[in-house]
Amino acid sequence: MEESTTQKQDPKEKAPSGPGPGTFTLEIEGKKCNLRPLDRTTFKLALGMVAPGMKEPRYIDAGQLILNTCWIDGDAELKDDKTPANMQVNVAACLKACEMIEIKEGEIKKN
């Protein structure tokens, strides 16, 4: 019998470059990037920063987390938060990336 040499790959390694099914394209002032969907860990961390009812939601921090962890490719200026010249574009990209945090509506009833 032959041994299988198949190894599990990290989902991030298998992600195609560029836009594709299930990916997101973010555009600010003509600069674009492609983002993969949020994984559970990123969703949980980002949601913890902007959850409804928080006294001081941290939208920019949550958006930067999303840009850094879900980035596939695109204009690096969108995620560059170190250069003062890119600050406004980066803040706009962070705020727009927060829209990926989608909470499904539901209801709960006491029986």
What is the model's pLDDT at position 74?
95
Angle in degrees, CA 92, 98, 103, rounded to 5: 155
Separation between Cα atoms, residue 41 and residue 70, nearest integer Å: 11
Structure confidence at residue 81 (pLDDT)? 81
Please write the tens of the pLDDT for every residue from 8-67: 444 444 445 666 778 999 999 999 999 999 999 999 999 999 988 889 999 999 999 999
- Total-model pTM: 0.77
pLDDT of residue 85: 80
d(CA 72, CA 18): 7
